[in-house]
Amino acid sequence: MKILIVTQYFWPENFKINDVAKGLVAKGHNVSVLTGMPNYPKGKIFEGYSFPKNKKEYYDGITIYRSPLIPRGHGSGVRLFLNYFSLALSASIRVLFVKNIFDKILVYEVSPVTIGIPAIIAKYRFKAPIFFWVQDLWPESVVAAGGITNKFMINLISKLTRFIYQHCEKILVQSKAFIPYILNQNVSNSKIIYLPNSTESFYNKVDVKNKFKKLMPKEGPILMFAGNIGEAQGFNTMIKSASYLNDSGFKVNWVILGDGRQRELIEKKINDLGLQKVFFFLGSYPSEEMPNFFACADALLVTLKKNLIFSMTIPNKIQSYMACSKPIIASIDGEGGRVILEAKCGLVSPSEDYISFSKSIIDFLKLEADEKELMGKNARLYFEKEFDREKQTNSIINIFKGIKNN
């Protein structure tokens, strides 16, 4: 099959769709990607990139068609709105000049839903069906994350979301909790398919390497968070928990991997509270190195703000953590917490409940080594059963085969 993936983000930006595309190529399919200039997460066009110089490039057997956009900046308000709609417009024009034909169109909607607009243009140009993979519910998720607050824009995006869904042959959802919401958008149940996320094949259990161990705190248990440092991640829960544990006499090291628009604010708050000796911000590293970092941790952390929309999602980091056979301590509601408890691979407390989160950490620290090891084994077993990468790729192909072209 000739597959066109339409996505706001793609390599060298670090998103799961990069691996999905490579998985489809490995199965013998011809894959192209329609996307923008890379600018996530720092909000600036990556060094060395410009349009039209990089309007077409190649990555691991994938043809990439890039369109100009307004960078996302600090990722809020009008600037974020302009970022989304500038790519929607430019990619809609760009796809008219792509000298290729496609059988299937896969939209990866991690954010924003506006990326569905150029996909609809592509649908009618190539007479190919759209498979719209919902990673975030719009506009609710961006509102919950503090990205857009203007009521006019929220109403506009709500209407646009319904319009886009109506033009898709299938709506794929990464969480079963999304299904009732999608049904309320006048989408028939027969159009909706549950397709959970997986993670890259290099996420596996590895031995601790000295190169990475040297970067870690020398004494005390290590709790590690990896991912975006943003509004949605609920970092205040970790900060309050760190303070609570310190006051309770528990020495815990909080190692943070990643970056994001809230990092400076979070670090300032930590310094103001005198917690800088227990927090270690290591910055961003290639995804391929994450298993080596995870191996150095006693447990891996997931936190989210308390919000109905966030409770419906399964954060992508959960699959990555599980694949590496590590125990998980989480402060999340809903689907993500359900998965961890069902897998018996960690401890879960309600979102933003820092006391319960702290008590989970204390309970974990009191476990015997073999009990912690069992949590890690359970994590990997559940990953292989529910989120295996090979199964996901085969599922996508079978879904494609089930819909004929126009």
Q: Which of 61-70, 144-153, 169-178, 215-224 has the lowest mean pLDDT?
A: 144-153
Percent of the chain surpassing pLDDT 90: 80
The reported pTM is 0.86
DSSP 191: G
Q: Name the residue ranges covered by the structural domains of the chain.
A: 2-198+388-401, 210-386
**Which of 146, 133, 15, 17 has the alpha carbon at shortest distance from 80?**
146
Provide the CATH topology of domain 2-198+388-401: Rossmann fold (3.40.50)
Cβ(273)–Cβ(243) below 8 Å: yes
Fold: same for 2-198+388-401 and 210-386? yes
pLDDT in tens, 323-380: 999 999 999 999 999 999 999 999 999 999 999 999 999 999 999 999 999 999 999 9
Structural tokens at position 51: 């349009």
Instruction: State how far the Cα of 116 lies from the Cα of 170, in Å rounded to an integer.
Output: 13
Residue 143 has pLDDT above 90, yes or no: no
Q: What's the pLDDT score for residue 88? A: 97
pLDDT tens, 249-274? 998 999 999 988 889 999 999 999 99
Q: Which amino acid is at 84?
A: Y
- Distance, in Å, from the CA atom of 2 to the CA atom of 156, rounded to the nearest integer, reads 33
Instruction: Round to whole Å and give the CA distance between 79 and 160.
Output: 19
Q: Give the per-residue SS3 of 289-306.
A: HHHHHHCCCCEEEEECCC
- pLDDT mean over 181-205: 93
What pLDDT is stored for residue 225 in this prediction? 97
Is 201's pLDDT higher than 80?
Answer: yes
Per-residue pLDDT averaged across 103-123, rounded?
94
For the structural domain made of 210-386, what CATH number should be given? 3.40.50.2000
Provide the 10 A C-beta neighbour count for residue 367.
Answer: 16
Mean pLDDT of 152-174: 91
Mean pLDDT of 114-127: 97
Rounded to whole angstroms, how far apart are CA atoms 390 and 26?
Answer: 10
Is the pLDDT at 75 greater than 80? The verdict is no
Is 63's pLDDT higher than 80? yes
Query: Would the pLDDT of 1 be above 90?
Result: yes
